[in-house]
Amino acid sequence: MRVIIRENEAGFVTKHGKFVKMIRAGVYHFSKTLGYKVDVEEMMGEVNYLDIPYQVLEKDMNFAACTKRFQIPDGYIGLLYVNDTLRGCAVRKEYVFWNVFEKYDMKLISTEQTEIGEEITKQMLSVVPVKYYTTVTVGEGEVGLLYYNQVLQKQLSAGIYRFWNEHNNVTAKIVDMKQTELNIVGQEILTKDKIGIRMNVTCTYRVKDAVALSENIKNLEQQMYSFVQLVIRELTGNYKLDEILELKESISKEVFAKMKEKENTFYVEFLSAGIKDIILPGEIKDIMNSVLIAEKNAQANVISRREEVASTRSLLNTAKLMEENKTLYKLKELEYLERICDKVGEISVNGNAGLVEQLGALMGAR
């Protein structure tokens, strides 16, 4: 049997299944009848010919010189470097690589400490399968609650955190600490005078204690919604419709004060609360519009009469002054004459009398 081994190959020689030696580039002759067999492998990447235990193969000087073995202890993962370039992650217990045409190295990373330190860069983690670690992202205005095996460990401020899953089941809850608006839309209310109305109410709040909230409250927004509904019904049900419309701001303050009393129950701080809109039934709205129109008409009539009285009083005062002062009366005549002349296109003068006498007659002069 003639065997040719190329420059980039290695041959594993066995006799009756027992490893004899590893051969490199060249031409070889072996007798099949004597039980020889040669398996050829390219000397690149990971060694595939490991049907024979490594402890047997490593006794061959050629094999030992051409390969490099890495072992991954418990509690570690390996970062594989090829020619000083990060190429991948090693998670098995043992690796054997050809170390002839490429240089292989392994950097061991401990996973004993659950929290991944800053020495593990983003580039290193990019080659690690995501199932081996957990990423927690906490935004601005948020608090992260970190749990190991469902047991609270600590609070996390804004940032990105990563944790090994080797020894603990890592989970996190993100609590929004920013100011939040809660809107109650179309809340149905029965007033004291038995009129059904609807209200739109808004309130703003922010979380004070993220840990207590997480431990004691489930579905915060839903519970807050129900609470605000009850407060609105309790307070506004004590007022008649006219009072609600007139005292809207005052009732809003009562609602806010009532909510402030329950802050510690929800582990929040209420910042504001108020009635945005009051929606009346159609028939009530028509009645109120009619009343409003009547009120406006009455106000308009009062103003009109007041103006008429003032005008009459002014005329009376003017007449008294002219009666007492003849000169003022004549001035008033001249004023009216001036107004008349502005409207006249031409004046005809009778030749039987002088111009002055005719103007005097026109003015009624004696």
Work out the mean pLDDT of the chain and round it to a whole number: 84
pLDDT in tens, 2-16: 999 999 999 999 999
Quick one: 251 and 302 in the same domain? no
Q: Could you tell me if residue 87 is inside a domain?
A: no
What are 42's strand-pairing partners?
9
Q: Could you tell me if residue 351 is inside a domain?
A: yes
pLDDT in tens, 182-212: 998 888 888 887 878 888 899 999 999 999 9
The predicted pLDDT at position 320 comes to 74
Range of the domain at 164: 125-176
Contact between 176 and 206 under an 8 Å Cβ cutoff? The reply is no
Task: Please tell me whether residue 286 adopts helix, strand or coil conformation.
Answer: helix
Quick one: 318 and 365 in the same domain? no
pLDDT in tens, 95-139: 999 999 999 999 999 999 999 988 899 899 999 999 999 999 999
Asked whether the predicted pLDDT for residue 302 surpasses 90, the reply is no
What's the whole-number mean pLDDT along residues 17-24?
A: 91
The predicted pLDDT at position 243 comes to 83
Q: Could you tell me if residue 204 is inside a domain?
A: yes
Asked whether the predicted pLDDT for residue 336 surpasses 90, the reply is no
Quick one: 227 and 270 in the same domain? yes
Question: Which range among 29-38, 46-55, 296-305 shows the weakest confidence by mean pLDDT?
Answer: 296-305
Percentage above 90 pLDDT, the chain: 52
Number of domain units in the chain: 5
Quick one: 255 and 205 in the same domain? yes
3-state helix, strand, coil in the chain (%, to 5): 35, 35, 30
Question: Which range among 25-29, 284-288, 318-322 shows the weakest confidence by mean pLDDT?
Answer: 284-288
For the entire predicted model, the pTM comes to: 0.67
Cβ neighbors of 217 (< 8 A, separation 6 or more) are 223, 266, 267
Q: Could you tell me if residue 251 is inside a domain?
A: yes
DSSP count for the chain of H helices, then E strands: 11, 18
Contact between 42 and 9 under an 8 Å Cβ cutoff? The reply is yes
Q: Could you tell me if residue 20 is inside a domain?
A: yes
Look at residues 116, 92, 118, 119 and name the one whose alpha carbon lies nearest to residue 106. Answer: 92
Quick one: 57 and 70 in the same domain? yes
Distances (CA, A) of 42 to 9, 39, 100, 142, 206: 4, 10, 11, 55, 65
The predicted pLDDT at position 366 comes to 46
The predicted pLDDT at position 278 comes to 83
Alpha-carbon span 219 to 214, nearest angstrom: 10
Alpha-carbon span 108 to 74, nearest angstrom: 11
Neighbours of 239 (CB within 10 A): 20
Residue 267 DSSP code: T
Q: Could you tell me if residue 24 is inside a domain?
A: yes
The two three-digit tokens of residue 58, written as one number:
């490593």
Length of the chain: 366
Look at residues 183, 193, 281 and name the one whose alpha carbon lies nearest to residue 238. Answer: 193
pLDDT in tens, 226-252: 998 898 888 888 888 888 888 888 888
Quick one: 189 and 266 in the same domain? yes
Look at residues 307, 309, 311 and name the one whose alpha carbon lies nearest to residue 299. Answer: 307
Q: Could you tell me if residue 189 is inside a domain?
A: yes
Q: Render the burial of 130-164: b for 16+ CB within 10 Å, e for the rest.
A: eeebbebebeeebbbbbbbeeeebeebeeeebbbb
pLDDT in tens, 263-292: 999 999 999 998 888 877 666 655 555 655
Q: Could you tell me if residue 235 is inside a domain?
A: yes
What's the whole-number mean pLDDT along residues 135-155?
A: 94
